[in-house]
Amino acid sequence: MTEGTRDWYLRAARELAATSPRQVEWCFGVAHDDRVLALLDALPRPARQPSLLFAVAAYLGVPDAPYAVWADAVLARAEDLARELPRRRVQTNEPGRCVPLLVALAHIPGPIALVELGASAGLCLLPDRYGYRFRTPDGEAGVALGDGSPVLEARLDAVLVPDALPDIRWRRGVDLAPLDARDADDARWLEASLPPDRPERRERLRAALAAARAHPVEVVAGDALAALPAAVADALAALPAAATASATLVVATLGTAVYLPPADRERLLAAIAGAGGRAVTFEARGALPEVTERWAALAAEGRADAAAGFVLALDGVPLASGSPHGDVLEAVRPPAGRPGTEAHRS
């Protein structure tokens, strides 16, 4: 049975508990407000998504306010919302996910040609342009890498901390509806897509947009898997002039696989391998069947958290679990009696 809109918002309230108290308040409010539910139920199901409603409302000028004020402002813009919601999609471009990407890239030697599927404005195609400050769970000062902006801070297990920035020689993003960091309206949409009570994420986004304007990246329109062969061909054509040594093709998905049709999720890793690429995925634990199965086996062995939210994997092999935005990463634990760990670099 398809989940009703009311139950969808009640579930979203639980899922957003660690992310945005304000959006949790709005979710509970919508779930018990027949006026807003009627507005949503008149729209196609994809247009009713909680995060999408909050983003479009902010984009249309609905203020960050307690539910009663917020709901009145939403209803005052009912016609605009009904027009805008079906034509938009969730496009949170979180640069913090460059932290798990950086951790995975540390396992891949040599220059890299980087492709990101579901790249939005391409902010996660610039992991070598940002700065990083890592700390370990025992409170050590940790490691600082890079001198760019924004500076991404994260708590990592010591075995995961990378010791250098990646050498990226070519990069491209693919997205169904690409955004341009240089376009003021696209930047406004990305800001609207953030929770209003997370000002640090807004500042981080603005700094990443500035970096993307200074170092433009190409994001092309296309379906993720259908566009992959062309991206690979273009990388092979460009690299002889751009690199002094052969580069490894890396295809990354960072919180986007969940938006793919189930059939595409099932064949994603095989498609990347078939194109000659290494797959870096940082996705919700249940998003990719192969990773989900391997994670369950690790959890059964006591080597991983069975309830982990996001899992970082390289070619389908889990390396770590983490928070959705990459600011906390915990390595897969080594087998009993062994000093090594699956997080060791290859």
Which tens digits make up the pLDDT trace of 209-262? 999 999 999 999 998 888 888 888 888 787 765 454 578 999 999 999 988 889
Q: Which residues of 16-45 are buried (b: 16+ CB within 10 A; e: fewer)?
A: beebbebbbbbbebbbebeebbebbeeeee
- Of 176, 291, 188, 165, the C-alpha closest to 222 is 176
Rounded to 5 degrees, φ, ψ at 40 are -70, -40
Q: How many residues in total does the chain contain?
A: 346
Between the two ends of the chain, the Cα-to-Cα distance in Å is 45
How, if at all, do strands 112-117 and 131-135 pair? unpaired
- Of 158, 160, 120, the C-alpha closest to 140 is 158
- Which residues neighbour 213 within 8 Å (Cβ) at sequence distance 6 or greater? 181, 182
CA distance 69 to 57: 13
- Which residues neighbour 121 within 8 Å (Cβ) at sequence distance 6 or greater? 91, 93, 178, 179, 180, 181, 186, 187, 190, 209, 212, 219
Mean pLDDT of the chain: 91
CA distance 72 to 59: 16
Q: Phi-psi bin for 285: left (phi > 0), alpha (psi -120 to 50), beta?
A: alpha
Whether residue 331 has pLDDT greater than 80: yes
- Which residues neighbour 113 within 8 Å (Cβ) at sequence distance 6 or greater? 168, 169, 170, 171, 235, 238, 239, 247, 248, 249, 250
Whether residue 119 has pLDDT greater than 80: yes
Structure tokens that stand for 288 in this block: 């990719």
108-117 average pLDDT score: 92
Whether residue 35 has pLDDT greater than 80: yes
Whether residue 334 has pLDDT greater than 60: yes
pLDDT of residue 344: 45
CA distance 168 to 190: 25
Output the pTM of the full model.
0.90
Structure tokens that stand for 296 in this block: 């369950």
CA distances for 327 relative to 152, 153, 195, 283, angstroms: 8, 6, 16, 14
Share of the chain above pLDDT 70, in %: 94
pLDDT of residue 243: 53
Angle at 89 between CA 39 and CA 11, to 5 degrees: 60
Dump pLDDT digits (tens) for 135-190: 988 766 578 899 999 999 999 999 999 999 999 999 999 999 999 999 999 999 99
Q: Rg of the chain's alpha carbons, rounded to an integer?
A: 20
Beta pairing partners, 220 = 174
